[in-house]
Structure 1
């Protein structure tokens, strides 16, 4: 099967649901997803993509479209709006979102250092836990753009997992070793812009964000970050002062050995690198997407204006 046949089908692609029975039950209860609803919504969203005057090219395979439908609980209009915003931010910020590959030297260096590691085993609620280790970044070698690309690469890869589309994600942020040099890598404008991009344009079901060992001097940045989030996202933030607190809220068995679990971190990194290699074609297909920025809907155009406004506002703040 060629890339066009697999990722850009003009019609029914013979999709077969990849969810186990337990996850199907969660999808029905939380997302109102059943076979009839899913099939009808995929067809409607695919037809909309193919007919959209601004979308020159976009993946139309069912697993890709389901990212947006599941994120919006099968509201086709809301899924359409998010998909258009997603294509818009990929076009506006190619330095963050295009040409993603684990073979990019600096990206691979960051991955091998264990900065961002999806744990191979899911938590007790079936959610994918993604461990972020702040101290793995070297501010003398790595830039905020490198870090953004690693996050985008990981999310694009993990969103190919149907179970993760339904069950969602837990972000585990280990802030031990976070220094002032790490904080200085990001401007306030970039923090705001990146947060809004992921929150408003990526179909990620964020179920919880846990911050471990957050140093006191990062509290102001943390307050700023939280202020950018929706009320629902704010309610899902949890501060964990130490490892003992972590092991109370996440089953220690799924954690790296270095955090009290059973499997060494290096092994988990290698599992993720293998997953990225297996998903190479799907990642490459994303760079074939294209949208005419001059012919977008008002909602997508408003997003560009909002992001530009964020940059301008904080640029003035930082100069002042």
Structure 2
């Protein structure tokens, strides 16, 4: 389905001197870059026509030098040797056009699929749509003040027996791939809000260390995405039991981007204004319309054969 919506066009003085709001940014699945997004790509990522061309050339040269005896390197070369420039730029942006670091990210992308094949097989398209519609995970319909996509997961209605954790990871991975088809998201990045209202000991017992590792490894060096923050709200006192399992798995960069608020949400609203957030996440905006988000994310030509093996 084609992206809809509009954004306000800013002149150069506004870009330099004003604070952008969530009303100023491109649609979630939009492909047209606003002037302020182009400016951000230049300033934050060092992106330019010359940098892009030279980086692509050097990256393709490194493909030819990969060790073919290493399974991940062999798979990487097979998958990306003939990839389009557009596909490779997605990875380059995630590492600010640092070519050696980009190659390591691509290795991580391939290794993750080799290590966790169960994340990418046996995926059901209709179930994916149902989960997104229920906000497990969901995607807010507009970008935040910084132009980032905001995904969220609500634990209140999560039945871990009906919907095992690994299926939540499958849905997250599939939706991420969809979102990263937008160049705007490649540049601005993505945040995740975890709403722990309704979180119970049943939820705690249903997720083991290996499950958490599957999720954390995806967030750390295995995806061409600029993960800008994980925001945890309304968590109960026993949340620390789960968090203490996760902390040893976290690298410093991701650890520093985890924000824990509890029931006091004033600081949370400093990141995400109440009028931007739906009622389900403590905001004053409209309710989350999951079916509309499904229509936005899933094209008419998506089919089960495309999803069964991500």
Which category describes the TM-score, using the shorter chain as reference length? 0.7 to 0.9
Q: Check whether the contact 1:49–1:60 (CA below 8 A) recurs between aligned residues.
A: no
Deviation of residue 109 (structure 1)?
3.0
1:169 paired residue among 172, 177, 190: 190
Partner of 2:275: 253
Deviation of residue 69 (structure 1)?
0.5
Partner of 1:263: 286
Aligned-partner Cα distance in 1 for 2:161–2:33: 43
Partner of 1:76: 99
Unpaired stretches in structure 1, ≥5 consecutive residues: 1-16, 290-320
Deviation of residue 231 (structure 1)?
1.4
Partner of 1:60: 83
Q: How does 1:29-108 map to 2 (within 5 A)?
A: 29-46=43-60, 48-49=62-63, 53=68, 54=74, 55-58=77-80, 60-98=83-121, 103-105=125-127, 107-108=128-129
Partner of 2:130: 109
CA pair 288-57 structure 1, distance change in 2 beyond 3 A: farther
Deviation of residue 250 (structure 1)?
0.6
Q: Check whether the contact 2:139–2:149 (CA below 8 A) recurs between aligned residues.
A: yes
Two-structure CA RMSD over aligned residues (Å): 2.8
Partner of 1:4: none
3-state SS of the aligned residue for 1:36?
Answer: helix
User: TM-score normalized by structure 1?
Assistant: 0.75
Partner of 1:130: 151
Q: Check whether the contact 1:99–1:284 (CA below 8 A) recurs between aligned residues.
A: no
3-state SS of the aligned residue for 2:78?
Answer: strand
Q: Check whether the contact 2:192–2:231 (CA below 8 A) recurs between aligned residues.
A: yes
Deviation of residue 29 (structure 1)?
1.4
2:296 paired residue among 257, 275, 288: 275
Partner of 1:19: 33
Tell me which stretches of 4 or more aligned residues in structure 1 moved more than 4 Å: 46-53, 98-101, 279-289
Unpaired stretches in structure 2, ≥5 consecutive residues: 1-30, 69-73
- Bigger drift between 195-204 and 160-169 goes to 195-204
Partner of 1:219: 240
Partner of 1:143: 164
User: TM-score normalized by structure 2?
Assistant: 0.77
Q: Check whether the contact 1:209–1:237 (CA below 8 A) recurs between aligned residues.
A: yes
Aligned-partner Cα distance in 2 for 1:225–1:205: 20
| Equivalenced residues, count | 269
